[in-house]
Amino acid sequence: MPKFSLIVLSKTDQQSTYDMNVECFDTFIKSAIKAKVDYEILLIESNKNSHYQYNVQHLKIITPKDAFSFHKFLNIGVSHANAEYYILSNNDVVFDINWLVETNNVLQHNPKLLSVSPLDPKANSLPKEALENNNYIVGYQIQKHLTGWCIVAHKKVFEAIKKLDERFGFYYADNDYAMQLQKYNIKHALVTNAIVHHLHGQSSVGDNKNKSFELPAKTPNYIIKENWTWVLNNKKMIEGLILFHDKWGSRKTIKIKLFLANTVSKLGLGYLNRFIITHS
């Protein structure tokens, strides 16, 4: 059976965060035992003064010296991991007892599927019929196929992309990962029976609070025209979106690149995607 490395990011500076970490670890361990797989847990702790102690088997705590950055800290976790699969996870998740059974079953029966995400029934916007009639659904759309708060990636993913782009400190990190997968023709899917509950907004790794600010000069016009208030009210999210477009191109350019990549992939020439989906 394969081994899974659960890589969890946290800033444990209060009891409620510690309790959330413990619930995350506990529910994961129960699911690993049910799935009869080997596992390890790597807690990437951004609170350098954390004094909390854990009574958790196979747990290693790593406290980087650097300031927190989502992709940087995940890369640190991956560099210390010793497993075939990496589970890149927020700490504000609760794993269903059968989620890893379902995930592992899909992965073992579909060896070309190297990256998957679980389903949070309360948050996913895919059609109910599609979720009920498929064990997994291939795709790269954020919050539909790909959930940035929990991704299971085979080590071959990192052999291809080398590492996550550390310029993405938090926002649009999942969008960048989705583009990387498509660039290297790596299949990703939502596993519809792998249930993980995301306790939205309770994670300690991001900060959504902003005072009023002036929109950056490079703010994409489309988010203003289409009134993307959830982005327009968050300076860091806007900065993440600007970085995303600086790297991959305008929305129109990205659409063209993905159309061309999808076309050649259907012809069995997906290896050409890396020359089509270019970035800065």
Euclidean distance between CA atoms 51 and 59, whole angstroms? 16
Euclidean distance between CA atoms 40 and 141, whole angstroms? 29
For the chain of 280 residues, list the mean pLDDT of each consecutive stretch of 10: 94 94 97 97 95 93 93 97 97 97 97 96 90 95 94 97 95 97 97 93 53 86 94 94 97 97 95 94
Euclidean distance between CA atoms 278 and 280, whole angstroms? 7
Considering the domain architecture, whether residues 57 and 149 belong to the same structural domain is answered as: yes
The count of structural domains within the chain is 2
pTM of the prediction? 0.92
Sign of dihedral through CA atoms 210, 212, 216, 222? positive
What is the pLDDT, as a whole number, of residue 21?
A: 96
Residue 78 burial by Cβ neighbours in a 10 Å radius (0-12, 13-18, 19+): buried
Q: What is the CATH number of the domain that holds 35?
A: 3.90.550.10
Euclidean distance between CA atoms 169 and 183, whole angstroms? 21
Amino acid at position 242, single letter: I
Considering the domain architecture, whether residues 191 and 236 belong to the same structural domain is answered as: no
In a domain, 213, yes or no: no
Q: How far is CA 258 from CA 4, 181, 207, 273, 278, in A?
A: 31, 11, 31, 9, 10
Euclidean distance between CA atoms 247 and 143, whole angstroms? 21
Amino acid at position 27, single letter: T
Considering the domain architecture, whether residues 120 and 242 belong to the same structural domain is answered as: no
Considering the domain architecture, whether residues 149 and 84 belong to the same structural domain is answered as: yes
In a domain, 205, yes or no: no
Considering the domain architecture, whether residues 162 and 272 belong to the same structural domain is answered as: no
In the three-class reduction of DSSP (H, G, I as helix; E, B as strand; rest coil), residue 86 is classed as strand
Considering the domain architecture, whether residues 92 and 21 belong to the same structural domain is answered as: yes
**CB proximity list for 229: less than 8 A, separation 6 or greater:** none
Considering the domain architecture, whether residues 144 and 249 belong to the same structural domain is answered as: no
In a domain, 206, yes or no: no
Q: Domain range for residue 233? A: 221-276
Identify the bridge partners of residue 154 per DSSP, sorted by sequence position: 85
**CB proximity list for 216: less than 8 A, separation 6 or greater:** 235, 238, 239, 242
Amino acid at position 176, single letter: D
Only one residue has tokens 């413990």, namely 22
What is the pLDDT, as a whole number, of residue 125?
A: 85
Considering the domain architecture, whether residues 118 and 227 belong to the same structural domain is answered as: no
What is the pLDDT, as a whole number, of residue 231?
A: 93
Euclidean distance between CA atoms 132 and 146, whole angstroms? 17
Euclidean distance between CA atoms 273 and 271, whole angstroms? 5
In a domain, 210, yes or no: no
Considering the domain architecture, whether residues 32 and 88 belong to the same structural domain is answered as: yes
* Contact of 213 with 246, CB cutoff 8 Å: no
Structure tokens at 177: 């990962």
